[in-house]
Each structure stands twice: as structure tokens, then as C-alpha cells.
Chain A
């Protein structure tokens, strides 16, 4: 996919170079059309393609953990602990492994992806301009919303047939009771000290 986009960009650069060197060619009607394609249509398509590629790439797990402060969070996905919610989701492919972070940390709303990108830019600012936070001190503003869990689990048979879930479903939907911090599923990214943890090594 990126290869096709790069070929398109190369073609666009080649066409633009023609008009950089010989702008007088546009005196002819045919070349006017070529100039329109080379300096307007193709660059616009390259922009759309580039934005699409970058947005898709920023949803990948390896993109998220390419930031220094996220490395321990990436490592916590491999913790050998059946109670660790992120590790169990990641290791058992309950979320796509290559999009593990985005599956649970993106808002599933109309402007969710846009909000995520704005948050990401804020974090890049903190990383390179301001002071990067201590990884263990990072907290999700407003706490982790149940909607992120219910987006997949609501309507699932094992979730619905669980008597505890069935009794609390209204409180869970309204976020009055947190899936993570109400004492039920409270092991998530315990990164403060991972030195004593055992880690799962996937077979290559």
C-alpha cells in the first residue's frame, strides 16, 4: 500500500519537476491539463493517501510503544498473569494484536479518532518540548470509560450470562460503576515494578 502511494508521489514529483524547469510549456493547452494534474490533482491525492496511511499507522501497537514512556506499557502486554486484563486480551487475541492499544484506548464516537490524534499531539509536545511524565504516573483523563469495554463485550453471550454483569448492567452502562476500578477487573498495566513479573514469550 505504501509502495503504491510512494510511486504516486514519485510521479507527482516528476510532473512538478517538469514545470519547475520548463514553466513555458503551459502555453500549450495540453500541457495546461498536465499542469493541473501534476500540481493540483496528484498532490491532493497524495495528501489524502498520506493522511490515511499515517492515521492507520498511528493505530498500530508498535507505533504506540515507539514512544519511550509507552515502552513499559508495551511490556505489560506480555506479563504472564491471568488477571491482567490488557495482557489477557493481547495474548489471546481478544483484540487484534497489531492494534491492541487502539482497541481499548480509542473513543468509539464520531470524533473519537480525531480526539485521539489531538491527544497524541499533546503527548508528542510533552515528550519533545515539555517534560515527559513518569510512565507509572500516567493516568487517563477522566478515568477509563466502561464504553471501551462494552463496545465489544455488550451483547456477548459470556458477558450477558454472567450473573454479576447482568445485575450491574445499568450501572456499568451509565459509568457509575467502573469495570476496572470497582474491584472486579482491577489489574491493568501494573508497570510500577515489573522486575518480579514473569513474561510470556510468543513462539516465533
Chain B
């Protein structure tokens, strides 16, 4: 699959946004001593961070594919 460099950068921005929001929610969950803080961390923050990491890895894969296509 070919992606332009701009599209890869867009993926990086999306990944960064997910990671930032996820990490911010993790901080909230750590400072909030409440039974729901575990739910906030496990279901919302962890999902967003995981999604961000996955989008970043996808951007690396697609960036690698597009640069290999360019060489060929």
C-alpha cells in the first residue's frame, strides 16, 4: 500500500493525538482515588494509548512501504 509522505505525517499526528489524550487521562486516573479511576485507566486511557501506538506502527510500516516503492 502506497502512502504519500503527507499521509504518513498525518498518521503520525493522529497517533500523537491519541497518545497525548490517553496519557493525560492516565494522569487523571492516577490522581483520582475512586473506584472508577481503574475503569477510566483500563478501558479509556489504555485503549487510546494502545490505539496511538498501533497508528504509529502503521505509519512506520506504510512509510517503509512507500520508500521501498520509491526505490523500485
Is B62 an interface position by the 8 A CB rule?
no
Select one of B10, B27, B38, B52 contacting A39, CB under 8 A: B52
Is A13 an interface position by the 8 A CB rule?
yes
Chain A nearest CB from B60 CB (Å) reads 8
Instruction: Evaluate contact between B19 and A39: CB separation under 8 angstroms.
Output: yes
Is A9 an interface position by the 8 A CB rule?
yes
Select one of B15, B27, B39 contacting A124, CB under 8 A: B39
Instruction: Evaluate contact between A120 and B38: CB separation under 8 angstroms.
Output: yes
Instruction: Evaluate contact between B16 and A20: CB separation under 8 angstroms.
Output: yes
In the complex, which residue of chain B has the Cβ closest to the Cβ of A64? Answer: B35
Is A168 an interface position by the 8 A CB rule?
no
- Chain B residue contacts of A63, Cβ below 8 A: 33, 35
Instruction: Evaluate contact between A50 and B35: CB separation under 8 angstroms.
Output: no
Is A71 an interface position by the 8 A CB rule?
no
How many chain B residues sit at the interface, stated as a range, is 35 or more
Main secondary structure of the interface of A (DSSP, over half): helix
CA distance A53 to B19 in the complex (A): 19
Known contacts: A54-B37, A58-B38, A128-B36. The answer to whether A13 contacts B12 by CB under 8 A is: no
A residues sitting closer than 8 Å to B (CB atoms) are: 2, 5-6, 9-10, 12-13, 16-17, 19-20, 23-24, 26-27, 35-36, 39-40, 43-44, 46-47, 50-51, 53-54, 57-58, 62-63, 66-67, 117, 120-121, 124, 127-128
Known pairs A13-B19, A50-B46 / 8 extra A-B pairs, C-beta < 8 Å: A16-B15, A17-B20, A20-B13, A20-B17, A35-B12, A54-B30, A66-B35, A128-B36
B residues sitting closer than 8 Å to A (CB atoms) are: 5, 9-10, 12-13, 15-17, 19-20, 22-24, 26-27, 29-30, 33-39, 41-42, 45-46, 49-50, 52-53, 56-57, 60
